[in-house]
Structure 1
Amino acid sequence: MRKVMFSLMVTSALVFTEGAFLVGLPHISIAQQKPIPPYAKWGQLAMKKTHEKYPQAQIVDYLHVGRTTGPQSSVEKFKLWLKDSQREFGVFVDIEFENTTEKVISTKFRETTR
Structure 2
Amino acid sequence: MRILLLSVISLFFAAVVSASAEMAPEYAKWGQIAMEETQKRYQAEIVDYKHVGRQNISPEKAEETFKLWLRKSDGTEFGVYVAIQFDPSSNAIRTIRFSETDR
Structure 2 portions without partners, runs of 5+: 1-14
Bigger relative contact order, structure 1 or 2, given CA contacts below 8 A and separation 6+?
Answer: 2
What are the within-5 Å matches in structure 2 for residues 53-68 of structure 1? 53-55=41-43, 57-68=44-55
Matching of residues 1-114 of structure 1 within 5 Å: 30=16, 35-55=23-43, 57-71=44-58, 72-86=60-74, 87-114=76-103
- CA distance in 2 between counterparts of 1:43 and 1:103 reads 15
Instruction: Show structure 1 runs of 5+ residues with no match.
Output: 1-28
Identity of aligned residues (%): 45
| 1:70 counterpart SS class | strand
Aligned length: 85
Runs of 4+ more than 3 Å apart = none
Larger radius of gyration: 2
Please identify which structure carries the higher strand content. 2
